[in-house]
Structures are given as C-alpha cells and as structure tokens.
A and B are shown apart, each in its own frame.
Chain A
Amino acid sequence: MQSGTSMEKILKNIPGLARAERIISERGDVGGAKRLVPVFYFFLFYAAFLNLEGLHHQLATRNFAIFIPRWPIFWADWITPESATIIIFVGWTLSALAAAFFYRHRIARIAGFVGFLQFHAYQSSFGFPHHQWDIWMWVAFLWMFLPDIWNVAEDDERGQQRRSAFLSVFWGAQAYVLLTYSLSGLGKLLSVASQATAGMAHTFSFDIASLHISQMMLRRQETTVLGPLFLEYELLGWALFISVVYLEVVSVIVVFRPDTHRLWGLFLALFHLGTFLTMRAVFVGPVALLMILFFESPFMRSGVSLSEQVAGIPLLGRPFSFALGFLKRGST
C-alpha cells in the first residue's frame, strides 16, 4: 500500500482515528462481524413485512390531506397517495427480502437501502420527521460500503485488507449509533444556559422528569406504567433523568472501549425500556439495533470479566469497578 503511506500519516493525526485503527486491527473479529451483518438484514425484512401486514390499516387511517412527499419519494406526487403507499410498502418488503437473502452482495444491500429510504421518507412526509427508524436507515447506508468479503480466501493478502475495511465500516456503524445518543445528551446540556437564565425549568431542575412525564401523558391521554410513580416521587425521577443525561453524553466514548460495548448496549436498551414505561416513547427499532451491534460486539475480547467491562464505563468505571471488587471480596 505504497500510495497509502502519506494518507495513513494524515489519518493517524485525526483525533480518535488512530485509536479506532488500533481497536480494529488488534481487537476485530471479522468472523463475528460477518455473522452479525445478516442478522441486521433479517430483522430489516421482519420489520418490512410487519409494516406490510399493517398496510390496510395504514390506507384506512392515514390523513393523506397532509401528505407532502420528502425528496426521496418525489415521484409520489405523480400518483395518488394511496398508490404510492402500496408501492412503497411492497417495494420495501421486496428489497429487504433481497438484502436478507443476498446480503453478501453489495448490489442487494444497495437495493435494501433504497427500499428502506423510500419507506423512511414516506413516514416523514406527514408534517413532521419520524425518527423511529433513523439509525437503521443510516446503518443500512453505511453498510452499502461493506466490502464483499464472504468469498475471499483466509490467506489472501488483499483479502486481509478487505477484512480490515469490513471491520472499519462495522465499527463506523457502532460509532454512529453511539454518536446519536451523545448528540441527544448534548442537546439537553446546551439548553440549560438559556432556560436557567430565563428562570425556567431546565435539565437539572428537580421537577424535570415530572414535567416531561406529565406533559407526555397529557398529550397522549394515557397513564403510563411508571409515570404516576415518578410524579409521586419527584426526586427519584430527577435522579434517573440525570443518569440518562450522563448515559447519553458519554456514549460516544464507549465506542473506543470495546470491552464495555455489551454492558453499554444493555444500559441503552434499559434506558429505552424506561422511557417507554414512563413516557410511552416507543423506540423498538433502536433497541434491536443496539442488540445486533453491541451485545456480541466483534471488538470485545472473549471471556472478559464483569469488572473489566465495568472498568470501561466513562468517568465512573474505576469507582464502580472498585465497588464491584469490594462486594466480591465481601461475599467470599
């Protein structure tokens, strides 16, 4: 890779990239990553089929008066919204099936992405963006770039480079997903200054969880499973909200701590479960993706202990790890 030498030097000077390169080359299990990619496309087909099953309900209940097609489905203006709905739902299902069956071939993954983008744009064409499938859509975009390595021989030298590229793109998907959580946390922090100086409630106010939960229940006209509990015990809600802000803000750091991937995936899944039980914020899609990307992360060492996983938790890893060790010693 002679022509790549100067590029390597430039890339190694980009913050985080040298570390990412080290994780990929030293920790990456290409076999593990290869096994997870089809799981993504299998689930994509499952989701597409599930939506297709609800097509009649969609046609009967959608308010097409407010349907303004987003740019990926510009062609929907040429036909009736009902026809566009049928084409998009059937098209997504067929393209997802192709991607699930031929996931080893880039052309099928491109088809899977295009079909998915059509559905995503459709969902976001009714007056406001629909974020349920955002990260799935972007991971499908990124994974169009996975090199087709399934049929490359183990001892092929160029194959080795492609395997590294494969792991890099896989790691990119993990980094992107965690970045979205960090952006979400950053938003909660950035709003503090303006809201606090205006004398308003803000992210660190003791009634922050009560306000969010009551507003959501009022708007949805539904009592959630745990909502009333947090309205009754405001400080409990506050503590959990602050924990969530921490969890979100530091998430992107965890992509550089592969031994903590599995644990962090669990924390984020629990966070989504918590927001569902308190505010009925439904993020089923992201939880499934967290499981695919992090529960069996190909960058995590096999047999890594719980205290080693805990040690990688940003800022709090060492005290948590110490407490865990203390508890272990106490129990023996």
Chain B
Amino acid sequence: MEHRHLLPDEIDLLVDGEEGFGVAPLRAHVEHCAQCSTELARQRRLVGALERLPHLEPSPLFAYRVMSQVQVFEPWYVTALDSLQRFVPRSRPAKVLAGVSAGIVCVTLTLATLWIGSRLDVAVFFLNVLVQRIQSGAAALAGSLVTSILGQGAADTLLASGVMGVTLAATGLLLTILLAAVLLRAVATAAHRRRS
C-alpha cells in the first residue's frame, strides 16, 4: 500500500464510508499520501454536491390528477364494519349503556332459542301452520292472477289438471319469458352494432 496510490475502487470504498478490515490500511495511506488525499477530497466534494441536490416539486394539481385515475375500492367487509361503527356511541358512558343493552338482548334471544329448542314439538306445529298459511296465500294469489289474465275458464282448467298441469303451465311461462328476453337482447345488440 505504501508503494502505490489508491485504485479508483478503493477511493470509492472510502467515499461510501465503508467500514471493515480492508479499509483501515486505505485510510492510513490517505493520511500520508497527498495525491490520494486530494483525490478523495474531490470525490467527497462531488458526492456532497450530489447529496445537496433538492427534491423538485410537481404542480399543485398533481395529486388531484393522479387520484382522478385511481380506483378506490372499498371491500364489503370494511363497508359493513364502518356501518356498524356508526351505531357505536362515542362517549364512554353511552358505550357502556349500549354494551349492557346489547348483552341483555343477546341473553334474551339465547334464552328464547333454548326454550324453543326444548319445546321442539310446539315449534314444529307453529312452523307447519305458517307454511300452510303461506301455501294457501300463494295459491290464492296465483289463482286470482290467472283468472284476471286468462279468465275464469282457463283458471278452472288449470286447477282441474292438477299439480302436473300447473307445473307444465309454469314451465311454459318461464320458457316464454326467457325466449322473449333472449330475442330482445339479440335485437338490441344488432341495433347497437348498426349504430357503431
């Protein structure tokens, strides 16, 4: 090291402030060699000048312009949590009160569920009643619909044909609706193509 000047890579090591076993002899050399010392000082001045270069600023509308093209998408669970948080009071006493109320509701619902579970026969009975009511209501509604659209005669024929007849009629109706939708879509697509 005493017999030669530092290589460019070795100067780089000193400029970068590297630490390590091999750097100590380089430092020792620089202390005694005027040429290497001058070279190192020049390099350090250059690096200092580079490090002092400022960050330049874009126009004030930069962030606005970027945001206008960024898709901000809120996942459903975040939306749900936000909605829930809106119902949580801000003050501590109100939070405690809301917590106690929610606890009471939970306990009541749990007890009610357990009671219904222990009286399963009663629950099944009420469920059957409910289902029958819904069935008779739906049948009456469908009957009045068919009567008002197709007339009393068609309604009587449909009722006389039994479950099979009703199923066939419903399937036919669904297929007709589906076919109409497909045809309408085809017409709309063709019109769109013609326009473009």
Physical interaction between A and B? no
Give chain A's interface residues, CB within 8 Å of chain B: none
Give chain B's interface residues, CB within 8 Å of chain A: none
